[in-house]
Amino acid sequence: MPSISSEPTPEERANEIKRATLRLAIIATILAAIPTLIAMLVMPSGFLYIGSQYSSDDQMVYAAWMRQAMDMHFLFDNRFAIDPQPGITIHLYFFVLGLICIPFKGLGASVAIPLVSSIARLVFTFLFIHLLGKLCTRLDIPVFVCKAGMTLACFGAGLGFTVWEAFGRLTKSTNPVAGMLEQRLPIDVWQPEAFGFPSMLVNGLFMVSLCLIVSVFLKVLEAKDSWRAVPYGAGAMFLLMNIHSYDVLIVLFTLIAFVVALIASKQFDKQWAIRCGVIGLGAIPPALWYIHVIQSDPVFQARAATLTYTETFRQLIAGILPLFLLALPAFKQEKTGPIRWAGIGGLSAAVVVLFFVSTGYDPTKQYFMTMSAWGLVFCGFLAIVWFAAKESLAWNFFAAWGTAMLIIPYFPQLFQRKLSMGFAVPWGFLAAYGLYEALKLLKQAENQSVENFRRNRNLVAFIAVLICSASSIYWFQREILFVRSNVSSTTMQSIFMSSDVKQILAKVDEIPGRKVLIARPGIPGGTPEDLFAPPYLPDLNPLLSGFAGAYTYAGHWSETPDYNRRRGLAERVFQPRSPEEIVAILKETGATHLVQPIPEAFPDLPSGDLSQFGETIYEGRQYRLIAIDQGRL
Listing from the earlier edge strand, what are the strands of the sheet with 593-597?
551-552, 516-519, 593-597, 623-628, 614-619
Of 121, 143, 123, 119, which Cα lies nearest the Cα of 133? Answer: 143
In a domain, 572, yes or no: yes
Q: Which domain-ending residue is among 455, 480, 505?
A: 480
d(CA 477, CA 471): 10
**Interior CA angle at 78 toward 74 and 84, to 5°?**
105
> What's the domain range around 468?
10-33+118-480
d(CA 480, CA 490): 15
Residues 469 and 491 in one domain: no
d(CA 555, CA 5): 57
Model confidence pLDDT, tens digit, residues 504-521: 999 999 999 999 999 999
In a domain, 425, yes or no: yes
Residues 50 and 195 in one domain: no
Residues 61 and 122 in one domain: no
Residues 261 and 369 in one domain: yes
d(CA 110, CA 67): 9
Residues 358 and 438 in one domain: yes
Tell me if residue 129 falls in helix, strand or coil. helix
Residues 433 and 569 in one domain: no
Of 469, 459, 484, which Cα lies nearest the Cα of 31? Answer: 469
Model confidence pLDDT, tens digit, residues 429-448: 999 999 988 887 766 655 55
The mean pLDDT value for 57-82 works out to 97
Residues 341 and 439 in one domain: yes
In a domain, 123, yes or no: yes
In a domain, 4, yes or no: no
For residue 188, CA distances in Å to 140, 230, 364 come to 30, 35, 19
Residues 6+ apart with CB under 8 A from 279: 216, 219, 220, 223, 230, 233, 234, 237
Residues 82 and 165 in one domain: no
pLDDT at 194 over 90: yes
Model confidence pLDDT, tens digit, residues 517-542: 999 999 999 776 677 889 999 999 99
331: amino acid identity, one letter: F
Which of the residue ranges 31-45, 90-104, 434-448, 526-540 would you say has the lowest mean pLDDT?
434-448
In a domain, 38, yes or no: no
- β-strand pairing of 614-619 with 593-597: unpaired
Residues 6+ apart with CB under 8 A from 514: 551, 592
Taking a C-beta distance cutoff of 8 angstroms, is the pair 391, 265 a contact?
yes
Residues 473 and 501 in one domain: no
- The model's confidence at residue 2, banded by pLDDT at 50, 70 and 90, is very low
Split into its structural domains, the chain has a count of: 2
What one-character-per-residue DSSP string does 223-266 give? TTT-STTHHHHHHHHHHHHHH-TTHHHHHHHHHHHHHHHHHHTT
Q: Which domain-ending residue is among 423, 453, 480?
A: 480
- The model's confidence at residue 334, banded by pLDDT at 50, 70 and 90, is confident
Tell me if residue 622 falls in helix, strand or coil. coil
Q: Which helix (H) or strand (E) holds 444?
A: helix 424-445
Percent of the chain with pLDDT over 70: 95
The mean pLDDT value for 403-416 works out to 93
In a domain, 2, yes or no: no
How does the average pLDDT of the chain come out, rounded? 92
The torsion defined by the Cα of 469, 474, 480 and 481, in degrees rounded to 10, comes to 180
Taking a C-beta distance cutoff of 8 angstroms, is the pair 341, 333 a contact?
yes
Q: Which domain-ending residue is among 465, 480, 495?
A: 480
Amino acid 372: pLDDT: 95
Residues 92 and 133 in one domain: no
d(CA 504, CA 515): 13
Residue 184 burial (C-beta neighbours within 10 Å; 0-12, 13-18, 19+): middle
In a domain, 521, yes or no: yes
Residues 420 and 474 in one domain: yes
Q: Which helix (H) or strand (E) holds 595?
A: strand 593-597
pLDDT at 1 over 60: no
Model confidence pLDDT, tens digit, residues 565-576: 999 999 999 999
Residues 98 and 203 in one domain: no
- The model's confidence at residue 607, banded by pLDDT at 50, 70 and 90, is confident
* pTM score: 0.95
In a domain, 113, yes or no: no
- The model's confidence at residue 145, banded by pLDDT at 50, 70 and 90, is very high
